[in-house]
Structure 1
Amino acid sequence: MTNLVEIYMDLLITVNLPGKVFFLKMKYRLLFVAVLAFLIGCGFIAPRIDAVSQDESKTIPEWSIMWGDGPGTVEELIKGSSSLNWLNVSDRKFFPEKPKNISTAWAKAQLPTILPDHYGVFINEIFAKHLWVYLEDQLIQEVNYNYAYDVHRILIPLSSEDAGKNIYLKMETSKDRLGVHSDIKMDQYTKLMQIFVVSDLANIILGCAFLFIAGIMLICSIFLKKIQLASWISLSIMILTIGIIIATFSPFMFTNFERYGVIFIALFDISLAIFLPALSFFFEKVFENDKLTLMRRFRKFQMIYSVFSILCMIINLASDYRFAKVYFLISVTVLGYIILIQLVLLIGYSAIFAKRGNKDAIIFSSGFALMALMGIIDLVWYYSSSQTYQVFLWKWGIVGFIISLIVILGRRFAAYQDLMLNYSKELEFYNQQLQLSEKMEMISSLAASVAHEVRNPLQVTRGFLQLVAKSATDKNKEYMGIAIEELDRASNIITDFLTFAKPQLDEITELNIYKELKQIEGIILPLATLHGGGVSLNIPQELYIQGNSSKLKQAFINIIKNSIEAFRDEGQIHIWAYEESDQVFIHIKDNGEGIEPSKIAKLGEPYFSTKTKGTGLGLMVTFRIIEVMKGSIVFKSQKNIGTEVIIRFPTLNTHASK
């Protein structure tokens, strides 16, 4: 962090700091708005695509299914169709469940007796490993998945000559689900082709969007510090695996790229095995807390189980799916329960952190709760429907969750820029203090070494001038008086130098602020009256500090004199004090000319003064006295309104304890 701040400060030296910071903050905010708009745009596009796929088309109101092998060929099936045990399906909401120990089924649907040209039949969801599609006795399509996938989608072109014919589907599987689980739609072939193509396009768009974002984040990780890499990389891996899961989950990939199905399934399983522990790890990094012990142990178990699951997948692939049922139990059934446990843990922990009022935790919890809720609904629905339900709600839950993470990341970038701005201001302040300290040290050394040597010749010269003035003419006496005044002025400057170099606080006593300021009021009031103004005090009588009375008076007189010299018409100085948090605060406020903000930071520097003939040594000595007495001084001023000086000292008890 220190190195980053140094680099950032080096950059800001050559540019306008406020403008640069504003530009950087706007750049990051625009970046996150663009990414957010991109994902939200995907969310708006997807319903439109789904609306196309759900468009009302004509359906075959009744079709039939027969469980078992039936006749050996489709010709025999057609000849003996009337004597076979066909089950009629007329309810579009309820499809017949597969009986146990059945691996083959036939489905039959009769086309209308009047059929326009350029028509087609579309079936969105057929569960089978091996599928044959016949139009009467003519085989028009055959698909055989030699891997662990069993969802088919078919589109059959028709002509007017096909009116009244039967469509036969032969389905075989080695899995638990089998049959037709969607309406048999009929419409213009071009319209059905559009539905066929875009029905899963939402998955592809979302998947590619996540892959793109993950790629950009991984590239950006090159420029991050080591301490930031863990959470950043885990989030990148989460988004990357989510993109792969969404894209490879879509039947579109298997329907159009059948030969790469093994790769798609392997990528899906590996991504899911990596995503789950990455999610737990990211959660730990976002909310680092000692109470996450259970979460950490569960995440370690997840990592071990993920490695075990990937090894089982490799063994299943190498053995040509000989252990498909065992692998299904490991990668689907058992993993589903593990996901449920993980969701319960994350929801519980996120609710606890959100209850504490952390805004990032509330945003994270809201997004994650949406994802978890969608996931739980999908899993419950999946297992309650004998594993025939096609989960889809989880995709939109993930979109909501990723958007919440982007919002958190945007907030952190904005907060980080504010932090950098504060660091830059602090560094600028400390740099000014360092320069001032170096100047003061130089002046202190110079004053200590030279002041005594200069004062002695001045005093001797002053004495001889007084002697000579006694016997001089009137005109020469006038010149001698001017010379003596200038020598006295030089002596006062040297006295200020000595005071700055080593304030004489040898006599430290208990000081009553009320009494000290009352005495100062008596000293300074005639000067204020001479300048047409006044001084008012509002000081409690029981405020005590430790210090040197004469030096305290010197410091306050210097400040009040500056206020008097800044008087305009009806000038007024208000002085009040109070105790707060073991500190005594003294305010001196005038309604004079005021000081420009750019000059306030230079007050107390040697040879800097807002007065025409000022040397700046008075305030320099004042700052030094207050510093030696463990106090601090702050100036607040507005041009043509006035100046307020706030001086703070430790109370007597606090100071004594130190």
Structure 2
Amino acid sequence: MRLFARILHLSVVLFVLCMACGVLQASAEGRYGSTEITNWQMKWGSPDGETGREVPLADEQGWMEVHALQGTPELPKGISSAWTRITLPENGYTSPAVYINTLYALHVKVYAGDRLILEGDRSFIHDNYSLLIPLSTQDNGKTLYIWTETLQDRIGIKDKVLLGEHSLLIKDYSKNGLVDVVLGGAFLFVAIVLFVCSFYLNKEYFPIAASLSIVIASTGILSITYSPFTYTFFSYLGPLSVVLFDLALLSLLPALTFLFEKIFGSGKRGIIRRFRKFQVVYSMFCMVCLIVNYLSGNRLVEFYYFVSASVIGIIMILQFILLTACVVLFSLRGNKDAITFAVGFGTAAVTGAGELVWYYIRQGNYDLIYWKWALVVFILSLIIILGRRLALNHQQVVKYSRELELFNNELQRSEKMEIISELAASVAHEVRNPLQVTRGFLQLLSEKSSGDERRYLFMALSELDRASNIITDFLTFAKPEFEKISLLSVQDECKHIESILLPLCHLNGGKMVLEVAGNLWVKGNSSKFKQAFINIIKNSIESLGEDGSIHITAYAKGDKAFIHIKDNGSGMDPWVLSRLGEPYFSSNKTKGTGLGLMVTFRIIEAMGGEVRFISTKGAGTESITTLPLAEAPDGSGSYEAKLV
């Protein structure tokens, strides 16, 4: 209870402290909260050009009212400069400052009355200024005069102006565009890692990974070099940033089309490939214009701006339309990659195309904002597609490895079978003849012998018969073709096999259950058919323990006959199961030569069927034999039958 009381007391104290801090923060914000200025006046400069040295303090002609919600007014033709005057309200700030989030101009001068307090001049094409103008307490209630000059189609203040404490406004000033720089840096890091990893991929995926890394890196550079943070705090890098922005944009468009082509193909009549080639040629043309403009000291800046901004924007809209149409077609066909690409690219395309259209409607009086976040979604979709491709490739490699292992095992088995077949064919006949002669003489001797001598001769005859059976197995394996092929009733054959092996099954303490469908026919040799299944059933009988049983089932399914022989014997380990059918390998180490199952496999194979075994140690074994069905003798052709 004491511990609970202390925790409750501590919680109450923390709650009171938090409430007190909240009140203090609210009072501080109320005392030093910023003041929004949403109205000011603008006056166009003279057509002959103006330097902004003389402040129009007494000139009251030509001024027009501007509201923050209306944006910047349209710049008249032939005019490249303008004056903006902002009347500062009375305030009690200790260190006052004016924060202008977005000001369109290339050359800026700010006056408090007739006193110059700030000047900025850019020799590169990036007209987005973010200004924090510190003031003195003597500037309270004065009018700010801002002279702006540009070479583009927009000029002036875009949004509201804030007047407040310098210590508070500097936070917004320093954070303006910082997220774009962080996002761009993350893109560049991911692009570098992906590009390095692409060298470890096979040749099929290297172009996809490399082009994707170019797309991601270009997006990162665009995000950094488009951010006002770069030009506000690293203005000396402005010319380089503009060049990098153009190069990134000119690399992004063809790389994106190339990536799309590698993933989905060149499209109908090679339209995607042709568009990609056009983009490459046009990007190279823009790069040449960039170099020429730089060498000429920006004398061709207006022409370069037209080919690298206005025309490129139209090409981007066409690209979005083309790739979106192709993605929709692929998605309708059920392509999973196309669906993923459609989600990502659709987000980027709709956002980018919408912002570009709005940019042209506003005649350039708009900053593209949402495109980079849409590209995040798009890049994630591309990474997902590449990851899925690599995962599928890995699955195929694993699949091919397993198939290759099975093929090697089958090849080794075939080589062994071929060696044994040749050996059996060449030796069996030569060995059988002297064995038969020897057996004949021993049988004559046994008739004239008695006692132990006769018993020994009977043992010799038994071993000779065993050797003859082994030779017969060899001959069956070496020549599994049947001299006489006929229609066999599976039911009749299985009943005959049951009658042969049932006494042996009872002798081993087991029972045999037969469930075979009637009207089930196959083609083959009766004696060979019996030999094959007797070998299987004998192995089952030898594995039985107490209360053992063998269940024989046969039925038709499709155009195949299925024969199951299932026992509840001792079962086999997986390694034993994998070696069944090998010569001289017996699943029972105390009995057999391993030739029986080898002959069984060869007979069933010659009949056009196959045998497979399912076994669990201690739970029994099941053999499943499939054979091609044959048409019934009455010509009915019916393969379906009920169990009898």
Aligned residue in 2 for 1:636: 614
Does residue 617 (structure 1) correspond to residue 591 (structure 2)? The answer is: no
CA contact (8 A) 1:103 1:173 kept: yes
The aligned residue for residue 9 of structure 2 is: none
User: Are 2:28 and 1:80 aligned?
Assistant: no
- Matching residue's letter, 1:393: Y
Distance 2:157 2:51 in 1: 20
Structure 1 residues 281 and 514: CA distance shift in structure 2, 3 A: farther
Question: Does the CA-based 8 Å contact 2:68-2:160 persist in structure 1?
Answer: no
User: Which whole-Å CA distance do the structure 1 matches of 2:91 and 2:34 have between them?
Assistant: 16
Secondary structure of the structure 2 residue equivalent to 1:226 = coil
| C-alpha distance in 2 between matches for 1:108 and 1:617 | 107
The higher-RCO structure (CA 8 Å, 6+ apart) is 1
The equivalent position to 1:203 in structure 2, one of 163, 175, 180, is 180
* Structure 2 counterpart of 1:270, one-letter code: L
**Which residue does 1:533 correspond to in 2?**
511
The ranges of structure 1 where at least 4 consecutive aligned residues each deviate by more than 6 angstroms after the TM superposition are: 70-75
Q: Distance in 1 between matches of 2:303 and 2:74?
A: 23
> TM-score, length-normalised on structure 1?
0.84
- The answer to whether the 8 Å contact 2:481/2:606 transfers is no
Q: How far has the Cα of 1:320 moved from its partner?
A: 2.4
Q: In structure 2, what is the equivalent of residue 524 of structure 1?
A: 501
Q: 2:393 aligns with which of 410, 413, 416?
A: 416
1:574 maps to 2:541: no
The separation in 1 between residues aligned to 2:363 and 2:267, in whole angstroms, is: 41
Contact 1:111 1:167 in 2 (8 A): yes
- Return the index of the structure with the highest Cα Rg: 2
Which piece of structure 1 moves more, 522-531 or 484-493? Answer: 522-531
Structure 2: state its 5+ residue gaps: 1-31, 632-644
Which AA in structure 1 matches 2:530?
K
Alignment deviations for residues 243-269 of structure 1 (CA, whole Å, 9 cap, x no partner): 222211112222223233222222222
Task: Assess if the C-alpha contact under 8 Å between 2:41 and 2:86 holds in 1.
Answer: yes
What's the offset of the Cα at 1:618?
0.6
Residue aligning to 1:626: 604
The 1-side partners of 2:156 and 2:514 are apart by 97
Q: Secondary structure at the match of 1:77?
A: coil
Residue 642 of structure 1, CA deviation: 3.2
Cα separation, 2, equivalents of 1:105 and 1:536: 105
1:238 aligns with 2:215: yes
2:83 aligned partner: 106
Q: Percent identity over the alignment?
A: 46
CA contact (8 A) 2:110 2:145 kept: yes
Instruction: Find the counterpart in structure 2 of residue 474 from structure 1.
Output: 451
Distance 1:487 1:561 in 2: 21
Structure 2 residue aligned with 1:508: 485
Give the partner amino acid of 2:365: T
Residue 150 (structure 2) aligns with: 173
**Counterpart selection for 1:298 from 271, 275, 291:** 275
Look up the match of 2:6: none
Decide which of 584, 606, 618 is 1:607's aligned counterpart: 584
What is the SS of the residue equivalent to 2:159?
coil
Name the SS for the 1:146 alignment partner: coil
- Please report how far the alpha carbon of residue 172 of structure 1 lies from its aligned counterpart in structure 2 after TM superposition: 0.7
Post-superposition offset of 1:56: 8.3
Q: Is 1:284 matched up with 2:261?
A: yes
Structure 1 pair 434–336 and aligned structure 2 pair: CA distance change class (3 A) = same
How far has the Cα of 1:572 moved from its partner? Answer: 3.2
Deviation at residue 181 of structure 1 after TM alignment:
0.5
Q: How does 1:113-512 map to 2 (within 5 A)?
A: 113-288=90-265, 291=268, 293-512=270-489
Moved more, 107-116 or 370-379: 107-116
Amino acid at match of 2:263: V
Deviation at 1:91, TM superposition (A): 4.5
Task: Please state whether the residue corresponding to 2:75 is helix, strand or coil.
Answer: coil
State the 1:150 CA deviation: 1.2
* Inter-CA distance 269–521: structure 2 relative to 1 (3 Å threshold): same
Report SS of the residue matched to 2:85.
strand
Which 5+ residue runs of structure 1 have no aligned equivalent?
1-54, 654-658
Q: 1:585 aligns to what SS in structure 2?
A: strand
Provide the C-alpha distance between the structure 1 equivalents of 2:146 and 2:473, rounded to a whole number of angstroms. Answer: 107
Q: Distance in 1 between matches of 2:294 and 2:519?
A: 91
CA contact (8 A) 2:266 2:272 kept: no
* Other-structure match for 2:636: none
State the one-letter code of the partner of 1:640.
Answer: G
Residue in 2 that maps onto 1:8: none
Change (3 A) 1:421 1:173: same
Instruction: Say which is worse superposed, 644-653 or 282-291, in terms of deviation.
Output: 644-653
CA distance in 1, matches of 2:317, 2:442: 101
The counterpart of 2:534, out of the listed 557, 564, 576, is 557
Note the alpha carbon deviations across 1:605-626, whole angstroms, 9 max, x for none: 1222222312211101111122
Relative to structure 2, which stretch is displaced further, 61-70 or 232-241? 61-70
Supply the distance in 1 between the matched residues of 2:221 and 2:355 (Cα, whole angstroms).
Answer: 19
Q: What is the Cα deviation at residue 561 of structure 1?
A: 2.1
Which deviates more from structure 2 when the two are superposed, residues 62-71 or residues 264-273?
62-71
User: 2: distance between equivalents of 1:574 and 1:195?
Assistant: 85
For 1:562, the aligned partner's letter is N
Tell me which residue corresponds to 1:25: none
Using the alignment, how far apart are the partners of 1:436 and 1:317 within structure 2?
Answer: 74
Distance 2:276 2:57 in 1: 60
Secondary structure (helix, strand or coil) at the match of 1:537 reads strand
Contact 1:244 1:267 in 2 (8 A): yes
TM-score, normalising length: structure 2: 0.86
In structure 2, what is the Cα distance between the partners aligned to 1:214 and 1:280?
17
AA at the equivalent of 1:574: I
Distance in 2 of aligned mates of 1:536 and 1:487: 35
Q: Is residue 123–residue 154 contact of structure 1 (8 Å, CA) maintained in 2?
A: yes
2:14 corresponds to: none
RMSD between aligned alpha carbons?
2.6
For 1:166 and 1:244, locate their aligned partners in 2 and report how far apart those are by CA, in whole Å. 39
Report the Cα offset of residue 110 of structure 1. Answer: 2.8
Q: CA deviation at 1:270?
A: 2.0
Read off the aligned partner of 1:402 and give its amino acid letter. Answer: I
| Contact 1:573–1:591 (8 Å) recurs in 2 | no
Q: In structure 2, do the counterparts of structure 1 residues 67 and 290 end up closer, same or farther at CA, with 3 Å as the change threshold?
A: closer
SS at match of 1:227: coil
In the TM superposition, residue 652 of structure 1 has moved relative to its aligned partner by: 4.9
What does residue 22 of structure 2 align with? none
Give distance in 2, aligned partners of 1:110 and 1:356: 63
Change (3 A) 1:335 1:78: closer
Worse overlay, 147-156 or 636-645? 636-645
Is 1:381–1:389's contact at 8 Å kept on the other side of the alignment?
yes
Comparing 406-415 with 175-184, which one deviates more in the overlay? 406-415
Output one character per residue of 1:489-538: Cα deviation in whole Å (capped at 9) or x when no partner: 12212221222222242333444444443443443344444443123233
Q: CA deviation at 1:213?
A: 1.6
Shift of 1:315: 2.3
Distance 1:155 1:290, change over 3 A: closer
Shift of 1:645: 1.9
